[in-house]
Amino acid sequence: MLTVRKSQDRGHADHGWLNSFHSFSFAGYYDPRHMGFGNLRVINEDRIAPGTGFGTHSHRNMEIISYVLSGELAHKDSMGNVKGIPPGDVQRMSAGTGVTHSEFNHAAGQTTHFLQIWILPNVQDIAPSYEQKTFAAADKRGALRLVASPDGAQGSVTVHADASVYAGLLEGTEAVERPLDPARKTYVHLVRGALRVNGQPLAAGDAALLENEASLALTDGRDAEVLVFDLAA
């Protein structure tokens, strides 16, 4: 079964300094039909205005991934990490027993556009940790590049969860086909552009939710950037 969730059906909050779209229930947006998918709990598409950001706040027992699309995200946390996250980088923070951090856009005249992703961990109360890696566009061109996995395979960041995340760039005749385990869930989030997922057309911000499916086909990309989540059911 494949279900399409349209971009315009997501939750939306415009705080002036932050324009955010919520794929799943989050903060002031609540929809009991969209509380997550498998162990994927949050995908927020955030745009942070210049000179603003999220002040210091805390997390606990969550795997948090930041995927920057444009601009740069300045990260500072209670583990001592002070990092800039540019496009092409994937940041993973395991909150574990508890961590505080802040995220800012310090660039004048440039909006920071990124995805904030939360995945439920399969271990509780571990020591907080941080990881950040760069994934070249060439490795994602016409392919799905593993960027996060439980064992850090293929140079991906390590998540303490039964989940893997892939990133791809597709244009024109470039296509990806891969078998799926029907006992698991697959979530396809189109970051930008246009794409067909198993023949179904998606536009930027749309998602395809796959359950009991044996295969995945990504075709007909037009400036498409896509994230594919392999998730515990």
103-127 residue pLDDT tens: 999 988 899 999 999 999 999 999 9
Alpha-carbon distance of 25 to 43, in angstroms, equals: 9
* pLDDT computed for residue 136 by the predictor: 96
Is the CB of residue 132 less than 8 Å from the CB of residue 87?
no
* pLDDT computed for residue 118 by the predictor: 98
Q: Which of 198, 200, 136, 199 is nearest to 168 (CA)?
A: 136
At 126, list the tokens: 């571990």
* pLDDT computed for residue 233 by the predictor: 84
Alpha-carbon distance of 176 to 219, in angstroms, equals: 7
At 94, list the tokens: 């395991």
Is the CB of residue 165 less than 8 Å from the CB of residue 227?
yes
* pLDDT computed for residue 185 by the predictor: 98
One fold for both 11-134 and 137-231? yes
The answer on whether 34 is annotated among ligand-binding residues is no
* pLDDT computed for residue 68 by the predictor: 95
Where in the chain are the domains?
11-134, 137-231
The answer on whether 57 is annotated among ligand-binding residues is yes
CA atoms within 13 A on the CB side of 10: 26
Q: Which of 62, 71, 23, 59 is nearest to 39 (CA)?
A: 62
* pLDDT computed for residue 88 by the predictor: 93
Is the CB of residue 159 less than 8 Å from the CB of residue 63?
yes
The answer on whether 160 is annotated among ligand-binding residues is no
* pLDDT computed for residue 230 by the predictor: 98
Is the CB of residue 164 less than 8 Å from the CB of residue 145?
no
Residues of the chain with pLDDT under 70: none
* pLDDT computed for residue 164 by the predictor: 98
* pLDDT computed for residue 108 by the predictor: 86
- CATH, range 137-231: 2.60.120.10
* pLDDT computed for residue 176 by the predictor: 98
Alpha-carbon distance of 219 to 9, in angstroms, equals: 24
Alpha-carbon distance of 145 to 167, in angstroms, equals: 5
The answer on whether 75 is annotated among ligand-binding residues is no
Query: How much of the chain exceeds pLDDT 90, in percent?
Result: 97
* CATH class assigned to 11-134: mainly beta
Residue type, 45: E
